[in-house]
Amino acid sequence: MTTMTETTNAARFREFKMPDVGEGLTEAEILKWFVQPGDTVTDGQVVCEVETAKAAVELPIPFDGVVHELRFGEGTTVDVGQVIIVVDVAPGSGDAAPDPAPASEAPAPAAEPEAEAEAPKGRTPVLVGYGVAESSTKRRARKGTEAAPAAASAAIQGEMNGHGTGAVVPEARPLAKPPVRKLAKDLGIDLATVSPTGEGGVITREDVHAAANPAPAPEPVQAQIPAPASAPAPSSAPAVVASMGARETRIPVKGVRKAIAQAMVGSAFTAPHVTEFVTVDVTRTMKLVAELKEDKEMAGVRVNPLLIIAKALLVAIKRHPEVNAAWDEANQEIVQKHYVNLGIAAATPRGLIVPNIKDAQEQTLPQLAASLGELVSTARDGKTSPAAMAGGTVTITNVGVFGVDTGTPILNPGESAILAVGAIKLQPWVHKGKVKPRQVTTLALSFDHRLVDGELGSKVLADVAAILEQPKRLITWA
């Protein structure tokens, strides 16, 4: 029977679940909370920033009220559909309390480890995205009889799989968030020797730093290795050897790195790659870049060789539209695209991402320059949205910025071709019958051989090279 108190609680306390912020993603990591319990929030206010497998996204709350509870801390990976925040939408109306968090969300040190393997029941559609399905990923229960290192490894892996500090942990294991564990590992600190000061016996960053920097000692090494006060000095020697002898670092595979790995493996073992190379004299292109920098029409936008290379590829695609296509395995069809969403591979602090310029074939040179500038700036700030990375047709990757001559790029999944641009260097080159110093680079074009034959791929690459050698072809061929 439903009591009046239960009905009041359900109406007063509203839960906000981790939404699917784009394209069927299954989990996200909470990077930062912008609110704390007791803060007043309004409909549409951003309450946290999360990182998905594709981008960092800010999440707005869809109702007014006072924050009652944050279910997960920063640095925790949460499955889509799990409650991340509880809001009191009718504050001051009594002493009612919300329903307790499920066992998989709330800490329960006394519970059995096997409880971690159970997913929360009764999930409902989320407020944003495609709705929630129970996660198909099941974690094996940790065995209490295993050795301590194996148990610690299994526990850390459980946090990597998306339950963070909210997961049930064995009592003998020190309580600490994944970032704190990584900090301790980097500093060579055994968490079992650290005295916790956090709520509920949780070890904090400050605890680890305190353990790493105790009172000055005669030996510098000793100052960074914590030892029990009652233990004699010789007993700390094994810990020094163990910490100084660490030869491996384990980094959780999640977020953008996880998405990159899955995409590259899927592409490499699905699309038969062919890569062709051409070395070209780009001296005239470099002169054009210098002239455009002084052009009033290009004021306020960044002009660089990548701009001309991007325009050259667009012209080559216009001359050979069959290269701008995708393979539909389910329907056994080749889908030719009558638009070009030009992807630009960008290295960011969170990993490699490939946002794209929508309908790039329609843009003038100044417009393309502005789009490239905005794309790069947004990527570096970590603000690229999932939509900006969806629907690409061809991609450019500029490995030359790292001083690399060329490479064999892997296709972005669902795309037909990717152009790698090497470093532009001054080299001896035969020009008009004489050996002269010229600006030279190497281009590499990888393409999906299921839908792009060698002849077509060669023509596209040759056209790009010809335009860079004689930029006036941007006008005569456009």
Q: Would you name the residues annotated as active-site residues? A: 449
The bridge status of strand 417-421 relative to strand 434-448 is antiparallel
* DSSP assignment letter at 409: P
Please provide the DSSP assignment of 326-376 as one string: EEETTTTEEEE-SS--EEE-EEETTEEE--EETTGGG--HHHHHHHHHHHH
In sequence order, which ranges of 381-478 are alpha helices (DSSP H)? 454-469, 473-476
Distance, in Å, from the CA atom of 189 to the CA atom of 58, rounded to the nearest integer, reads: 34
Q: What residues pair up with 202 in beta bridges, in sequence order?
A: 175
Rounded CA gap, 33 and 184, in Å? 23
Distances in Å between the Cα of 98 and the Cα atoms of 11, 14, 35, 292, 457 are 10, 8, 19, 63, 62
Residue ranges in 116-236 assigned as alpha helix (H): 148-158, 178-187, 205-212
Candidates 178, 176, 175, 173; CA nearest to 152 is 173
Q: Return the ∠ at Cα 249 (arms to 245 and 255), rounded to 5°.
A: 170
Sign for the pseudo-dihedral over CA of 389, 390, 391, 395: positive
Largest CA distance in the chain: 95
∠ CA 337-390-369 to the nearest 5 degrees? 80
